[in-house]
Structure 1
Amino acid sequence: MSMPTPEERSGEAFTEAAAEAVQTSVMAFRLVMAIADAVRRQQQKRAGKEDELPDAEKAAAEASEEVKKFLPVDIAAALLQGADWPQLAQQLMALKRAGVDLETMLPRVGEITVTVRDQVVANAEKVAREGTEEWAKALRETLPAGPVREAILSSPAWPEMARTMATLNERGVDVRAILGAAHEEGVGVDQAIAKVLSAAEVPTTSRDATLSYGPLTVGLDIPKDLDLGDRERALRQLSISPSENQRFGRMVRGALPGAEREADLLLSARQWPLVAARVADMESKGQPVAEHLARLSTDTSWQEGPQSQVGRRLVQAAVDALRKPVGTPAGPGPTVSTAAARSTSPSVGPTKAAKGAAPTTPGVAAHREAGPAPQSGKTR
């Protein structure tokens, strides 16, 4: 048996690269479909009308015609030959049954897959794999707060979506561009299903979003239906992953040495997710969060006032500390050691403190800026 010539080896390498490019474009198709399906499920679940997936065999037959009609031949063939095609077909037909126009959606998704295929062919460089937390950050930076972003992060398929994003990124694909395009499709899916369910297309502004408007949220991307009463959902709405939230908590405790109870009061406060969102926003901009938080132990005016409102005052103090540029003199108020703070703190553990957390702070007019931390402890 003769050895392959350089030309033959080159041809084999090109064939392998082309096959990899097509498979990568199929992965992009799956990602967009997973996002669209997550939005469909979320919308129907909220309306209490989540449908079961259609029969796999019937869906595969019907969806194959749609795919062949609107996707490039090589990508369509790869999709139909994939082991997961029956599940993809069910997702497509579920979207159609929910009110999504596939003749409008599929050509746009086809454009996404072609772009991915061409990017892989043109870029053979690999980059290091990034984990789920990194892609949660990418969502926060790329997609606006709203039903699509929340549907992605709350979907059981989110870990697999993140792995797909990492693989696409390794293969030279602009994942953020795909997410931006997929977001537009997700919005369309959300609106189409909302019409069928006779639900509002735009979420009503929640009480939490209204009352938080002002210094707590200025410059942040806050969803209109923010729900601070559900800590897990609020963090998800703000694209704060569990590992990020834990890390931010450690940063707070590091800024309040010897005042563990006070740190727990801040972390259990109803508005903590908003503080975490500001920390995440600052990190994405390369700002020195630790230096800002250190002010909590140098300007301790938050200690003055009723003990029952320490958590509430700490929220405002943390936001003030994070918003003021480094080098800005600390606000007025006596400097008190954290050891003294601990010795005078209420004798309750974090669990009791969480139950007794203060209610949401009153709304602040958009044109008003945050003032210094309260000095007298008096409430309005």
Structure 2
Amino acid sequence: MATPTPEERVGEAFTESAVEAVQTAVMAARLVMAIADAARRHQQRKQKGKEDDLPTAEEAVTEVGKDVQRLLPSDVSTVLMGEADWPQLAQQLLALRKAGVDLDQVLPRVGEIGVNVRDQVAAKAEGAGTDEWVRAVRETLPAGPVREAILTSPAWPEMAATMARLEEKSVNVCEVLAAAHNEVLAVDQAVAKGLGAAAEPVMSRDAQLSYGPLTTGLDLPRDYDLSDREQTLTKLAIDPQENQRYTRWVREAMPGREREADLLVAACKWPLLAARMAHMESEGEPVREHLARLAQDTSWQDGPAAQLGMRLVVAASDALCRPASDGPGESRTMVNTSAARTTSPSVDPTKTARTAATAEAGTAPHRQTGPAPKSGQTR
């Protein structure tokens, strides 16, 4: 038997993940229907002292089969009706109808639950295959339109699969990405110019106000808008799974302080903290050990209640930036003098940025990245 090609293996993996997603959706649908049947039985025992007898399997399959096909998503209904215990499930559904339940109202809701579960499983399976390449793109390319275009493209899963196939053939994918960056950036700027748009984004007010200890050393775009969290996370190359993981780490680091943890995650500058955690992860730093300082040093509690969210952001940034060897009370928060000059009312931040920059489009000077490696591992 011939060994499957990389393309065939990718296709098989996609098929397997799709089947698993639908099967999980069916499990969820069966659970909801079992709960509904249990409620029916309980109510009948309570009101009448006994449960009604189930209709025959033949009658149930005949009466509700078409309804299931009509009211549930086709992939879910096909798997559900193909299982060995489908006649028993049909009996439960018909018993619900005879008890006064409108299946035209219930089954679509069951279908919605199943679809949500199916899509979550599918997204997780897809993310498992692309997460490493999201990280590779983020670590190889500077923040800007090229990186954002890659990670937000509908073709991203296909791009990630292509990168995996190239790596299997011993190609240095990061070197390819780095070599292509300037060419693709030129294309992006040419298209922007043709459409009458500015090729280089101006520094947004949020980027100006956040410039300093919170962002020093991070590879950030110049035009993020913290009022649009989803778009900002996309610009920072933080995918939903990563954001959920960082949120969970904060809550685990602050046991018994759920309100404060939620307040920190809800802060408008949370995406910048998430970007810091992502950067630390890429450097192999123990993010959760740093976050544990939030519970060890609770000086952020002192002050007006209205400013608690801001104090938590500063404390989290300080906890993440200090070396792991520092004790919980050894805060090293300090003024960033270049940032202070940049944000001074007498100086235009964009002018300062241009004089200090190395002419890398779309990236602030203190966020410049070094040249991509010319050899070695892709990640």
- TM-score, scaled relative to structure 2: 0.54
Counterpart amino acid of 2:312? L
Cα distance change on mapping 1:130 and 1:172 into 2, 3 Å: farther
1:298 match = 296
For 1:165 and 1:158, locate their aligned partners in 2 and report how far apart those are by CA, in whole Å.
10
Mapping for residues 269-288 of structure 1, pairs under 5 Å: 269-288=267-286
Alignment of 1:366 onto 2:364? no
Task: Render the CA deviation track for 1:4-26: whole Å, top value 9, x for unaligned.
Answer: xxxxxxxxx9xx9xxx89x9xxx
How many Å apart are 1:327 and its aligned residue? 2.2
2:191 is aligned, of 165, 172, 193, to: 193
Counterpart amino acid of 1:216? L
For 1:312 and 1:230, locate their aligned partners in 2 and report how far apart those are by CA, in whole Å.
18
Task: Render the CA deviation track for 1:90-114: whole Å, top value 9, x for unaligned.
Answer: xxxxxxxxxxxxxxxxxxxxxxxxx
The question of whether the paired residues in 2 share the 8 Å contact of 1:213 and 1:365 is answered with no
1:133 is aligned, of 108, 131, 134, to: 131
Cα distance change on mapping 1:168 and 1:332 into 2, 3 Å: closer
Q: Which blocks of at least 5 consecutive residues in structure 2 are unaligned?
A: 8-126, 342-379
Counterpart amino acid of 1:325? P
1:145 match = 143
1:161 is aligned, of 159, 162, 168, to: 159
2:309 match = 311
Q: Which has the larger radius of gyration?
A: 2
Alignment of 1:330 onto 2:337? no
2:180 match = 182
Alignment of 1:222 onto 2:194? no
The question of whether the paired residues in 2 share the 8 Å contact of 1:293 and 1:322 is answered with yes
How many Å apart are 1:198 and its aligned residue? 2.2
The question of whether the paired residues in 2 share the 8 Å contact of 1:148 and 1:187 is answered with yes
Cα distance change on mapping 1:332 and 1:142 into 2, 3 Å: closer
1:246 is aligned, of 238, 244, 247, to: 244
Secondary structure of the structure 2 residue equivalent to 1:159: helix
How many Å apart are 1:148 and its aligned residue? 0.9
Task: Render the CA deviation track for 1:46-77: whole Å, top value 9, x for unaligned.
Answer: xxxxxxxxxxxxxxxxxxxxxxxxxxxxxxxx
How many Å apart are 1:329 and its aligned residue? 2.7
Q: Sequence identity, in percent?
A: 60
Task: Render the CA deviation track for 1:311-351: whole Å, top value 9, x for unaligned.
Answer: 21111000000111112133379xxxxxxxxxxxxxxxxxx
The question of whether the paired residues in 1 share the 8 Å contact of 2:146 and 2:185 is answered with yes
Cα distance change on mapping 1:290 and 1:275 into 2, 3 Å: same
Counterpart amino acid of 2:237? S
Counterpart amino acid of 1:264? D
Number of aligned residue pairs: 219
1:99 match = none
2:37 match = none
Counterpart amino acid of 2:219? D
For 1:261 and 1:229, locate their aligned partners in 2 and report how far apart those are by CA, in whole Å.
21
The question of whether the paired residues in 2 share the 8 Å contact of 1:136 and 1:239 is answered with yes
How many Å apart are 1:289 and its aligned residue? 1.1
How many Å apart are 1:263 and its aligned residue? 0.7
How many Å apart are 1:181 and its aligned residue? 2.3
For 2:198 and 2:339, locate their aligned partners in 1 and report how far apart those are by CA, in whole Å.
29
How many Å apart are 1:188 and its aligned residue? 1.1
How many Å apart are 1:364 and its aligned residue? 6.6
For 1:162 and 1:207, locate their aligned partners in 2 and report how far apart those are by CA, in whole Å.
34
Secondary structure of the structure 1 residue equivalent to 2:181: helix
Task: Render the CA deviation track for 1:146-166: whole Å, top value 9, x for unaligned.
Answer: 011111122122222222222
Cα distance change on mapping 1:367 and 1:200 into 2, 3 Å: closer
Secondary structure of the structure 1 residue equivalent to 2:242: helix
Secondary structure of the structure 2 residue equivalent to 1:243: helix
How many Å apart are 1:139 and its aligned residue? 1.1
1:171 match = 169
For 1:311 and 1:249, locate their aligned partners in 2 and report how far apart those are by CA, in whole Å.
15
Counterpart amino acid of 2:130? T
Cα distance change on mapping 1:324 and 1:292 into 2, 3 Å: same
Counterpart amino acid of 2:136? A
Counterpart amino acid of 1:366? S
The question of whether the paired residues in 2 share the 8 Å contact of 1:138 and 1:176 is answered with yes
The question of whether the paired residues in 2 share the 8 Å contact of 1:133 and 1:244 is answered with no
Cα distance change on mapping 1:188 and 1:367 into 2, 3 Å: closer
